[in-house]
Amino acid sequence: MIHLGKLKTTLGEIYESQSSTSGKKKSFSSLFKELLEYLTIELSTTTNSIHDIQIQTVYDQVKLDLDKWKQKWFPSTLGQTNIDGLFMDLIEIIQFAFKTVSTVFQDVSITTNTLTKENKLLNLEIQKMNEESKKLNDYTKNIEQEVTNLRNNELKRQRKEKLQEKQILIRDLFNIPIQRLSQEIEKHNLNKNQINIYYKTTINSNKLSSKHPLLYQILDEVSKEFGVDVDQMLTCFKQKKQSNDTFHLQQVIKAFANGKKWTKNYDLNEFLRIQDMYPLDSEDSLLLQPIFKQMCRIINKDRK
C-alpha cells in the first residue's frame, strides 16, 4: 500500500523547498532521500514471483528519471513557472511508476490464467494497486490546486510588496522638494501651514493659479528645479500623502469598526484578511484580539 499521507507531506515539502523563503524546512537532499525510500518500499516485492524482473526494471527506470529530474530542480534560481512545471513532472514520474506496475500485474494475470494461490494474491495486488492509483490521481488533483493556491498567494505577496516599496520610495524621495517649498514659503512670509494646500485632493494647477497665485509661483519654481511641471508635482505630493496614510491603520480600523456597528463582530483576523495583511500567529492573535475589540468599541462608543 502507498503511504499517501507520508508521500503527500514529502511532496509538499519538496515543493516548498524551492518556493518558500522560510528557513524552517528540511534540506532538499533529505526530502529526496525520503521519496526514494517510499518508492523502494512500494515498488518492491516480498516473494520471488514471475513479475519481480518487470517490477525491478520499472523501479530502475523511475530511479533514473528521478535522478535526471533532481538535476533540473536543484538550482536555487528557478522562476515560479519553472518550479510549477518541474513539480508536475515529478508527479507524472510517480504516477507512471504505479500505473506501469499495475499493468505488469494485469499482464501476468492474463498469461498465467490459473487459480493458484499466487494468482489469487496477484489479483488482490492488482485490485489494491488500482485503488491506490485512483487515490494518487485524486491526490494529484489536490496537489495541482495547492500549487495554484501557493502561486496565487506568492503573486499577491509580490504585488503588495511592490506597492509598499513604491510608497516608501515616493514618501522618501519627496522629502527634499517639500523642504524646498517650506523654505520658499517662509521667504515669502507666508504661513507655513499653507503648504497643506498642495496636498488637497481637489487642487490642480488651474485652481492653484487662480486661487493661490503666489503658492502657484513658488511650486512652479521648485518643480522646474526637479525637472517636472506643476501638475506632476501635485500628483506626487498626493501620492506621498496616501503613502504616509498607508503606514497608519487608524482610518481603516475606524472604517472597519463603523461597518460592524450593528453586528459588533470585531474580529481582528477578518480585518487582516480585508487589508490583505499576513495572519498573526495564534499567540499574537490571543494578545491583540481583545485590544482590537476594545478599540472598535471605543470608536463606536459601544457599551460593554
Residues 102 and 62 in one domain: yes
Position 199: which residue type? Y
CB 154 within 8 A of CB 19: yes
Averaged pLDDT, 79-92 = 78
Residues 128 and 187 in one domain: no
Residues 36 and 11 in one domain: yes
Position 114: which residue type? T
End-to-end, the C-alpha distance of the chain in Å comes to: 58
Rounded Cα gap, residues 199 and 212, in angstroms: 14
Nearest to 69 by CA among 77, 57, 58, 61: 61
Q: How many other C-beta atoms lie within 10 A of the C-beta of residue 39?
A: 20
Position 270: which residue type? E
pLDDT in tens, 9-55: 777 777 777 665 544 456 777 777 777 777 777 666 545 555 567 77
pLDDT at 211 (0 to 100): 92
Could you tell me the sign of the dihedral formed by the alpha carbons of 66, 69, 71, 74, in that order?
negative
Residues 49 and 150 in one domain: yes
Q: Which of 146, 169, 192 marks a domain boundary?
A: 169
- For the record, the C-alpha cell of 248 comes out as 497608519
Which are the contacts of 6, defined by CB distance < 8 A and separation ≥ 6? 34, 38
1, pLDDT greater than 50: no
> Binning pLDDT at 50, 70 and 90, where does residue 251 land?
confident
- Report pTM: 0.40
Nearest to 60 by CA among 100, 116, 4, 31: 100
Q: Which of 169, 203, 232 marks a domain boundary?
A: 169
Averaged pLDDT, 76-80 = 63
Nearest to 269 by CA among 252, 281, 259: 281
Residues 149 and 51 in one domain: yes
> Binning pLDDT at 50, 70 and 90, where does residue 212 land?
very high
More confident residue, 243 or 269: 269
pLDDT in tens, 260-293: 988 999 998 898 888 777 777 788 788 788 888 8
Averaged pLDDT, 91-99 = 80
107, pLDDT greater than 80: no
Q: Which of 204, 226, 245 marks a domain boundary?
A: 245
Residues 226 and 84 in one domain: no
Structural domain range at position 182: 174-245
Residues 70 and 137 in one domain: yes
Residues 121 and 193 in one domain: no
Residues 39 and 68 in one domain: yes
Residues 142 and 193 in one domain: no
Domain count for the chain, please give it. Answer: 3
